[in-house]
Amino acid sequence: MKQYIKYDPWKIIEEGLLPEYNKVSESIFSLGNGKIGQRGNFEEYYSGNTLHGNYISGIYYPDKTRVGWWKNGYPEYFAKVLNAPDWTGIKIKVDGEKLDLHTCKITEFKRVLNMEKGYFRKRYTAEFPSGKKIKIKSKRFLSIVNDELGVIKYSVEPINFEGEIEVLTDIRADISNQDANYDEKFWIEIEKSTAVRPYVISETKKTNFRVCTAADIKTEFDGKSTPLENLEKIEKEKYAAFKFTLPVKKGKTTTIYKFAAVTSSMYYEKNILAKIAYEILEYAEDKGYEKLLNEQELAWQKKWTKGDIIIEGDIAAQQGIRFNIFQLNQTYTGQDERLNIGPKGFTGEKYGGSTYWDTEAYLLPFYLSTADQKVAKQLLIYRYKHLEKAIENAQKLGFKNGAALYPMVTMNGEECHNEWEITFEEIHRNGAIAYAIKDYIRYTGDKYYLAEYGLEVLIGISRFWAQRVNFSKNKQKYVLLGVTGPNEYENNVNNNWYSNLLVCKTIQYTIESFNFVKENYPEEYNRIIKKTNFTVENETVHWEEIINNMYLPYDEKRKVFLQQDGFSDKELIPASALSHLERPIHQYWSWDRILRSCYIKQADVLQGLYFFEEDYEIDTIRRNFDFYEPMTVHESSLSSCIHSILASKIGDKKLAYEFYLNASRLDLDDYNNDTEDGLHITSMGGTWMTIVKGFAGMRVKNDKLSFEPFIPEQWKFYSFKIGFRGVLLKFEVLKSIVKIENQSNSNIELLIFGNNQILKQNSVTEIALRQKNN
């Protein structure tokens, strides 16, 4: 664990340049606006350890897998969101000496991510080998008002010399991914120019996405506009730049403004990309830097007004949750149904930037409660649009009759994960997608979604489950063999309890949805029957038989659900017995040793109890929590949030808080020694849930929001806002009372500690806070 980030409620602050942590900081200081994003790289020369990263949503490359592609049903490629052309470069030389933050002597270094206003700034003093000293200040943001625009303000002040500096502002398209399977570069050049403003048009191999990256430069000396002296226009392969000189004077500031436009064939015809990019740059020039920055700050203010969580009395917790919310809002805006959320967002290359089941399980609740309903709906429509591909994925594995297996990893609906124990066996992802449909409808009340999109997806998934299970004559039950549950420290197991439960829950919900659409939307029902060739009598009778006879492993002695067959045969040793020198175990143990151990990577049985807690008594949840949590090593970013929510449920406030702090500061403090690869974006939705679903106990029961809040001992109060079916509510939880404000023009009926509470429009009510036993 690293704790070099300074505590601040609204800012992420690093003081003093720490080269050994630079890649970690590059992840932490990342920026995004839903369409483009970048790691917190330096604009200057930097010869130290770095991972340069710029990313464009939806633009990917099918990188041929190294193993398994010759096997039937195995994916032929791993889709990767590409490291895109880099426009951020502002490289300085003084009398031929490079301003390189790795080789110059750097003092007074500070970099700050201002989450409240949506920008990244840094400052430092550099001393060159010649003894010349220079002060640098920079500020950078990616506009959320115009999501194809990036802006940098870069200021130079000499301390002990005068004269000129050489400036190189470039666009580099000769970019590679560090995780390329065959060290291949994925971009080819189409066109470049420096005639008016520098731009490079590049295109991806195979997928043929085309991108124009263009820049405009403005300069000032001592607050007044100044021309680019000795301008040299440079064009090389996949490269365009302006090199020029600027006057500098001791005690005076020379400023460079760099505006960049990134346009792609995702949104425009290929032949007009440069034209559109130039229009964006002209728009930026007309507005000017200060107005663009002001618009950015106001746009972020609007997001925070609705989506902020305020914590009083615990600055580490406050900084943590705001960092998570900030990154979630940077990553996804819901404006394009073709886009989804990669585990690393715009912050790194690991996991390829593709979509996992994390979206449905951990992210959907955040967007349901904090954004317009259409934003969350787009995430579901994304899966609907990929239904045909999911059916093709199942066909490749031998399934028939419209059975759908959604991919573990995807960009376009096609499976592209290249580890067999995940690709073929971690099929519980299908259940998470079905659960998300129910979760969306339960929250929004949008039942027409079933007729419009959802039922078709549910039928495909249920058909898959019906073919994937088999009847065991020995057990006289249906079983699910050869699977991997959420705990990826177990592979190829039989009857993973969570997966088996999802079979039943998905099929049951599909039957309920089928009957609902038949009764309420007969025309849509007939359309779906015809489109899916659904045979009502044959299929539903078989499905009911599976539900009624599904094997769910159970330990009678311990009165707990068994993670899978044979789990109780393991040597059950608590994780507390492990030496800290062996943690995380995936970095120190052989895979053979991990698979034979009892150690659990993340919630597995407990994931099922979280999803379907209404079906289980509190004592059942507590018994299973007390059995499995001690053996859980929490080496997945998705682990702490579920354990925190369940700890809140069973009344263990201390443990719930500890898990919350771990989840919220997972990347800021680099708990698992992997932040340098990028942030854990998808787990950040889980962090939000630990407060709203955990500490505040929010659920939807019988079409009503229900709350059973408590407050961690370390906090004075916390507050958040929730949007629910057109009503905006503000909750404030203090030591002895709960304040609820209806900020809408409609009345709403809530459940507070199980009691009905009608909250009239534009009113505030106070309720005594009940104390949960620890």
C-beta separation of 734 from 723 below 8 A: no
What was the pLDDT predicted at 70?
Answer: 66
Total residues belonging to the chain: 774
What was the pLDDT predicted at 76?
Answer: 82
H-helix or E-strand spanning residue 189:
strand 187-193
Please write down the long-range contacts of 313-317, taking CB distance under 8 Å and 24 or more positions apart: 313/714, 313/715, 313/716, 313/717, 314/712, 314/714, 314/715, 315/7, 315/8, 315/9, 316/7, 316/661, 316/665, 317/660, 317/661, 317/664, 317/712, 317/714, 317/715
Residue 190, pLDDT > 80, answer: yes
Task: Give the span between the Cα atoms of 517 and 464, in whole angstroms.
Answer: 21
Percent pLDDT > 90 in the chain is 90
Q: What are phi and psi of 294, to 5 degrees?
A: -65, -40
Task: Give the span between the Cα atoms of 42 and 44, in whole angstroms.
Answer: 5
Q: Name the pLDDT band for 419 (thresholds 50, 70, 90).
A: confident
Catalytic (active site) residue 20: no
Residue 694, pLDDT > 70, answer: yes
Looking at the DSSP bridge assignments, the partners of residue 183 are none
Looking at the DSSP bridge assignments, the partners of residue 261 are 149, 214
What was the pLDDT predicted at 18?
Answer: 96
- Tens of pLDDT, residues 26-84: 999 999 999 999 999 999 999 999 999 999 999 999 988 877 666 778 788 888 889 99
Task: Give the span between the Cα atoms of 176 and 82, in whole angstroms.
Answer: 8
What was the pLDDT predicted at 66?
Answer: 77
Helix ranges (DSSP H) in 84-179:
none
Q: Is 773 helix (H, G, I), strand (E, B) or coil?
A: coil
C-beta separation of 582 from 609 below 8 A: no
Whether the full predicted model's pTM is greater than 0.85, yes or no, is: yes
Task: Give the span between the Cα atoms of 596 and 594, in whole angstroms.
Answer: 5
What was the pLDDT predicted at 68?
Answer: 67
- Tens of pLDDT, residues 271-286: 999 999 999 999 999 9
Q: What does the buried/exposed string (b/e) look like for 453-466 if buried means 16 or more CB atoms within 10 Å of the residue's CB?
A: bbbbbbbbbbbbbb
What was the pLDDT predicted at 72?
Answer: 78
Task: Give the span between the Cα atoms of 7 and 125, in whole angstroms.
Answer: 23
pLDDT (mean) for 546-572: 98
Q: Name the pLDDT band for 178 (thresholds 50, 70, 90).
A: confident
What was the pLDDT predicted at 127?
Answer: 98
What was the pLDDT predicted at 614?
Answer: 97
C-beta separation of 600 from 482 below 8 A: no
Q: Name the pLDDT band for 743 (thresholds 50, 70, 90).
A: very high
Beta-carbon contacts of residue 557 (< 8 Å; ≥ 6 apart): none
What was the pLDDT predicted at 349?
Answer: 87
- Is 651 or 342 the better-scoring residue by pLDDT? 651
What was the pLDDT predicted at 422?
Answer: 81
H-helix or E-strand spanning residue 326:
helix 315-331
What was the pLDDT predicted at 566?
Answer: 97
User: Among 98, 101, 142, 145, which Cα is nearest to 119's?
Assistant: 142
What was the pLDDT predicted at 64?
Answer: 85
Task: Give the span between the Cα atoms of 448 and 521, in whole angstroms.
Answer: 8
C-beta separation of 342 from 81 below 8 A: yes
C-beta separation of 13 from 6 below 8 A: yes
Task: Give the span between the Cα atoms of 432 and 357, in whole angstroms.
Answer: 7
What was the pLDDT predicted at 353?
Answer: 61
Residue 718, pLDDT > 70, answer: yes
Task: Give the span between the Cα atoms of 600 and 642, in whole angstroms.
Answer: 13
| Mean pLDDT over each residue of the chain, to the nearest integer | 95
What was the pLDDT predicted at 79?
Answer: 84
E strands present in 679-716: 699-701, 704-707
**Cα angle 708, 710, 713; round to 5:** 170
Task: Give the span between the Cα atoms of 210 and 212, in whole angstroms.
Answer: 7
- Tens of pLDDT, residues 755-769: 999 999 999 999 999
Residue among 415, 488, 629, 635 flagged as catalytic = 488
C-beta separation of 164 from 212 below 8 A: no
How many Cα neighbours within 13 Å face the side chain of 60?
A: 28
pLDDT (mean) for 373-394: 96
User: Among 633, 636, 148, which Cα is nearest to 356's?
Assistant: 636
Task: Give the span between the Cα atoms of 361 and 357, in whole angstroms.
Answer: 7
User: Among 605, 603, 635, which Cα is nearest to 620's?
Assistant: 605
Residue 774, pLDDT > 60, answer: no
Q: What does the buried/exposed string (b/e) look like for 642-658 if buried means 16 or more CB atoms within 10 Å of the residue's CB?
A: bbbbbbbbbebbebbbb
Task: Give the span between the Cα atoms of 707 and 622, in whole angstroms.
Answer: 20
